[in-house]
Amino acid sequence: MPDDRPFQAVTPPAEPPTKPPVEATRRRFIAATAAASGAAVVGGLVAEQPALAAEAAPGSRASAKVGGSKDHRNAKKEKDMRIVAVEEAFSVPGAVRQEEAIRQRMAVPEAIKQEWFRRLDDLTELRLADMDANGVDVQVLSYSTPGVEVIEDPAEAVAAARHINDCLAKAVAAHPKRFAGFATLPMQDPEAAVVELRRAVQELGFKGVLYNDHVRGHYLDEPQFRPVWAELERLGVTLYLHPAVVPADNWRVFDGYPVLVGPSWGWTATVGAHALRLIYGGVFDQFPGASVMLGHMGELLPFQMARLDSRYDQVPAEHRVQHLPSYYLRNNVYVTTSGVMSHAALLGAVHAVGVDRVLFSIDYPFESSAEAVGFLRSAPYAPADLARIAHGNAERVLVL
């Protein structure tokens, strides 16, 4: 291993009262959004409470020198390294009428809330300036949650998805060297989702799909969604399985502990379990060319592979599949770094699934581009492997 020195846990310094609202984190956004949609507030986070980090991201305000000196090995290659970020949010005002109601109920100071939405709604000026300032060459854009998944009426979902995809296609066409797109699909109507997927990829040029976890309580291993997987495989594009702010159900184990809901743990548990449903449900046996992307270092599944395999002989016969679970995690799953700026986690994920299956992402505008890029550039990898994570894998998998 090129560098196994541990990173020290650092408490971020107190922010000055004049700190601009753009610095607010994704955790606070999700906490407020989940509260507005009826879920428990995530960790009791409010605008005045600093987010905690297990590790300080290199290049961030909270970073510290390790061992009293900085690692300069990547200094030269950092300068010209191409960076493609693959989970970057945008919004279209009015496209999902339920979204506005959730926004209005968010328990966040108005200035911070407006800054988030100003950046989500902006697809040129603010976004491109942020990319230029931090050396990000390309963002792969996807619609922010809450999105089409909150719509109950299938016809309304179909219309909203088409409108969102049309708006995204215009933004990509205006800046084809800076933006690419993931489609939004109306999974409430699987047949219509297949039609829209085909249009989004073949006519609009999108590189895949991003969907926010469950389909109003239904999961994508269920039989009605098999035509969507067949079309994803036929088109050769991936589905990014992203968390949803409105949970499918309420887990009693979370009662009284809102910190467990959302990005600190609940998202990982639910989306990771959803991905395992796809594996044990035989989706990848029936469609071996299909794939999913999982953010947050693969929702921790790469670190659970040995346990999944060691207990596979206890899996009931009706849930047996053709290979051990680790096979699918290494062949049908891609991992992104979104929201986990930890070199220890990155090293573990790469070791588990392979460097060719790990992609960089920021999660703009909810995470800091500067911190995420600093984390990437200071990662303890040889230039060729760092380039794969930074841009090569995205270019190959998404055909950028």
Residues belonging to the active site: 363
Question: Nearest CA to 186 among 170, 164, 171?
Answer: 164
Q: How far is Cα 370 from Cα 362, in angstroms, rounded to an integer?
A: 9
Strand pairing partners for 211?
241
Cross-strand bridge partners of residue 89: 142
Side-chain-facing half-sphere of 289: CA atoms under 13 Å: 9
Q: Scanning the structure block, which residue is given the tokens 């070791």?
A: 351
Sign, CA dihedral 130-170-101-37, equals negative
C-alpha closest to that of 346 among 359, 332, 364, 333: 359
Measure the CA–CA gap between 212 and 145, rounded to whole angstroms. Answer: 7
C-alpha dihedral sign at 201, 158, 359, 226: negative
**C-beta atoms surrounding 48 within 10 Å:** 9
Question: CA 34 to CA 262: how far, in whole Å?
Answer: 8
Who contacts 70 (Cβ-Cβ below 8 Å, separation ≥6)?
Answer: none
| Spatial separation of the C-alpha atoms in residues 16 and 2, rounded to whole Å | 37
Q: What does the alpha-carbon distance between residue 126 and residue 44 come to, in Å, rounded to a whole number?
A: 30
Consecutive H or E run containing 209: strand 208-212
In the sheet with 208-212, reading across from the earlier edge strand, the strands are 208-212, 238-242, 292-294, 333-336, 358-359
Q: Measuring CA to CA, how many Å separate 118 from each of 99, 145, 315?
A: 15, 15, 48
